[in-house]
Amino acid sequence: MKPSQLAKGFQARPDTTSSEKRTALDRLNAIDDIVQDDAKASVKTTPARGEAVLHSVTSSTDSHHANESNDYRAWRLSNNYNPGQVIELDLRAIKPSPFNPRHFYLKASIAELAVNLAKQGQQQAIHVIPDYGNPGSYFVSDGGRRVRALKEANKETVKAVVVDLPVGIESYKLGYDLNVQRDSQTVFDNAIVWRRFLDEKHFQSQKELAEHLGLDESTVAVALSLAKLPESIMQEMVARPDRFGSNMAYQVGRYFSARGVDATLRLINRIVADDLSTRQVADIVKGRANSQDDVKPAMRQRYAQRMEIKLEGVAVGDLKSYGDDRLELRLRGLSRDKRDEILRRIEQILQSS
C-alpha cells in the first residue's frame, strides 16, 4: 500500500543504526547551538496574544536559511526573526501539536516543575512551530511539560525558539527521538499515539508505521496491544515506570483481556506491593486466564492505616501500615535534593532506635 499523504516523503529506515537514530536530536542541538540569548536583554512590555517579544541575539548567516521551507521563510521575514533566536510568546498562543509523541503527563511531575519555575524562572527555551493557517499561534514541538508547568505556575509568557518543521510525521519523529534520549517516552504514550495514527490513516499498516519509525514490527505490535487498556489502568502503570516496562505491561494487558478492570487493578497493586517479576506475572496470567474465579482481595494484605503525604500542597505518595510490624512508604515526583534529604532522615531515625 502507498503511504498516506502525511507520511509521504518521510524516508523509511528499517535498518536504523544508533548514530542514525540521533539524527533528529542532532538537528535540534544544531538549532540550540546558534542560540545567542543575551543575558542582559530585558522585556519592557507584556506581549499581546500571539505577539513575539524578541531577545537580542547574534545575527544568523545566510547558510542558516539555505534549506528553509517557503512558509517558514515568509513567517521569518514578516516577523524579522533569525533562526535560533529566543523570543518570548504569550502562553495563550501556544497549543499542543496533534503529533505530540507524549500522551501522559504525571500531575505530580508537572506540579514539581511548576514550583521550580515559579522560584527559578524558565531556564531552557521550548521549541515551537508556527501555525501558518492561524497567524499568531504556535504548535509545541518540544517542551510540552514546561508549557503545562508554566500555566500551573500562573505564568503568562514562555521563552521559545521557532523551528522550521512541518506539523506531521516528521515533527512527531523529532519529538519521539528526543524523548527516547531523555528516557521520558513510555510504551503507554506509544500505545495511544500509534493507535491514533493508524485509525486516522496516517499509516496504512502496522508494518508501514514500524518502517517509518525505524523500529522492529514486534515492538510496535506490543505497544499497540496495550491500546485496548482503559486509561485508568495505564495511569497506574505510568506512575511507576520502574516497575512497568513494555514486557510487564504486555502481561498486564493479557490479564485485562481475561479478567477486566477491577481484577487488573488489584494485580497491579500486587505487582508493586510484592515486587513481582515479569515471569511471576506471566505465570499468574497463564494460570488464571481461563479461570472463572476472580482474584480475591485477600491475596494481598490489606493495610491497617494509610496517610497521604503532601509537599507544598501536592500529593506525592503515602505511608501505609500493615499488621503490627510492617510499614510501606511510597513517594514519587521528588526532586533529587528532597529525596536525599528524606533518605538521610529515615537513616537517622533507624540508627537512633
Tell me what pLDDT residue 302 has.
65
Tell me what pLDDT residue 161 has.
95
Tell me what pLDDT residue 42 has.
36
Cell of 314: 501536592
d(CA 207, CA 218): 9
Q: How many CA atoms lie within 13 A of 14 on its CB side?
A: 9
- CATH architecture of the domain with residue range 18-172: Alpha-Beta Complex (3.90)
DSSP 2: P
First to last CA, the chain: 69
Tell me what pLDDT residue 314 has.
74
3-state SS class at 147? helix
d(CA 50, CA 132): 12
d(CA 133, CA 99): 17
d(CA 147, CA 140): 9
Stated length of the chain: 353
Tell me what pLDDT residue 324 has.
65
pLDDT tens for the chain, residues 1 to 353: 443 333 333 333 333 333 333 444 454 454 444 443 433 333 333 454 445 554 444 444 455 566 888 999 999 999 999 999 999 999 999 999 889 888 988 888 889 899 999 988 998 999 999 999 999 999 998 898 999 999 999 999 999 999 998 888 888 888 888 888 877 788 999 999 999 999 999 999 999 999 988 889 999 999 999 999 998 899 999 988 888 989 999 999 999 998 999 999 999 999 998 889 999 999 999 885 433 344 444 345 566 777 778 777 777 788 888 766 778 888 887 887 788 788 878 877 777 76
Tell me what pLDDT residue 353 has.
60
Tell me what pLDDT residue 349 has.
79
The DSSP element (H or E) to which 209 belongs, if any, is helix 206-213
* Helix, strand, coil share of the chain (percent; to 5): 50, 15, 40
d(CA 138, CA 118): 23
Cross-strand pairs, 306: 320
What is the crossing angle of helices 187-199 and 217-225, to 10°?
Answer: 90
